[in-house]
Structure 1
């Protein structure tokens, strides 16, 4: 396998006129890499599944308020349990 150091050494041997060609090749490879990364990310997003009621997307604000209310209740219960333990 070629190391970065070896590759850089070979690039240093090139004539300045050839650097544009090498740069174009490197950019082409990087674009392909970036495209592959984007496709992998989009594939992962497609696999995300949300469990919830059928109307979740239309009533999300109501559900979030309910969750917030439940969280407050849980915090109150936890605080009450801590107070109880102190007794």
Structure 2
């Protein structure tokens, strides 16, 4: 039995109120699916914000090696 057939079998057992709730969930699922399909990975990366010292990007190697401390610059 396919997934679609199993879903239909389960749906047939629902009352009207449960069908309305299921329909709302399906609409929400489809809206999220449509929204995520349009998301571009690079656009999402561009939305990332990092809170750190002003020279973080210039000296990331020093921060990663421990030569500079992020804590010392955030106070």
Question: TM-score, with normalisation over the residues of structure 1?
Answer: 0.42
**Could you say which structure has the larger radius of gyration?**
1
| Greater relative contact order (CA < 8 Å, ≥ 6 in sequence) | 2
Q: Select the structure that is richer in helix.
A: 1
Q: TM-score scaled to structure 2, two decimals?
A: 0.48
